């Protein structure tokens, strides 16, 4: 079994156990990441915070994306590089986020780390088709990224850490630039797929609906 699937199991177990605590303020304080925790020296929260998820929807969505991108990357680049991208992307997104969020704000979940994996897949294996998403994974990744960039640009409010997602994706691009054997080709493929998607979504579908 791919090791990234063990990460999924840990995320599920950690989140469910946390939910069963209430979740208690004490457990949250010592396991969830926040600027206050970081500056208090609770450095372990940059790791433990990756495995906690707010609710079933948060957990399920993240694990779906982690399963798709994580397994594709591990099959292509093996375990060490996949885990390296996951943890470096997640940890750095947390740390850089201390300058972007209120110190008391808890930031949890594997989403920024998953964005890192998505960016690497985009540059390493963009045409790998996903049965779950019914499209190439490079296209899923860039749509995923574009939505979050727009959310940041328009100041979308809520409990989703859009900026951290963008940071994670940028970190993934750096990894992908180093690990991709056909960087320019794969980048052009991804851009081409995205342009086709935009034409279909913004031009063809509206014209068919209105006709």
The CATH number for 132's domain is: 1.20.1540.10
> Which residues, in sequence order, are CB contacts of 42 under 8 Å at separation 6+?
30
Residue span of the structural domain in which 99 resides: 3-210
pLDDT of 49 strictly over 80: yes
Backbone angles phi, psi at 136, to 5 degrees: -60, 145
Distance CA 93, CA 90 (A): 5
pTM: 0.94
Secondary structure letter of residue 107 according to DSSP: B
What is the average pLDDT score of the chain? 93
Task: Please report which confidence band the pLDDT of residue 32 belongs to, taking 50, 70 and 90 as the band edges.
Answer: very high
Give per-residue pLDDT as tens, 59-74.
999 999 999 999 999 9
Give per-residue pLDDT as tens, 93-126.
999 988 888 888 999 999 999 999 999 999 999 9
Task: Please report which confidence band the pLDDT of residue 209 belongs to, taking 50, 70 and 90 as the band edges.
Answer: low
Report helix angle 137-153 to 111-124, nearest 10.
Answer: 130
Backbone angles phi, psi at 27, to 5 degrees: -60, -45
Domain count, the chain: 1
Q: Which residues, in sequence order, are bridge partners of residue 107?
A: 33
Distance CA 146, CA 202 (A): 15
pLDDT of 158 strictly over 90: no
> Which residues, in sequence order, are CB contacts of 210 under 8 Å at separation 6+?
none
């Amino acid at each position: 079994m791919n090791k990234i699937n063990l990460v999924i199991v840990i995320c599920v177990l950690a989140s469910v156990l946390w939910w069963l605590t209430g979740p208690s303020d004490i457990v949250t304080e010592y396991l969830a990441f926040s600027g206050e925790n970081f500056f208090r020296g609770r450095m372990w929260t940059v790791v433990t915070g990756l495995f906690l998820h707010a609710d079933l929807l948060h957990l399920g969505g993240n694990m779906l994306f982690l399963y798709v991108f994580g397994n594709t990357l591990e099959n292509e680049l093996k375990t060490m590089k996949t885990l390296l991208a996951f943890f470096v992307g997640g940890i750095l997104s947390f740390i850089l986020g201390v300058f972007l969020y209120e110190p008391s704000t808890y930031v949890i979940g594997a989403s920024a780390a998953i964005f890192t994996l998505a960016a690497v897949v985009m540059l390493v294996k963009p045409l790998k088709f996903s049965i779950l998403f019914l499209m190439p994974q490079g296209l899923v990744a860039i749509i995923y990224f574009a939505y979050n960039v727009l959310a940041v640009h328009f100041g979308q409010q809520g409990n989703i850490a859009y900026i951290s997602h963008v940071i994670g994706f940028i970190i993934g691009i750096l990894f992908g630039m180093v690990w991709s054997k056909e960087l320019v080709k794969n980048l052009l493929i991804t851009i081409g797929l995205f342009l086709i998607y935009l034409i279909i979504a913004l031009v063809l579908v509206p014209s068919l609906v209105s006709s």
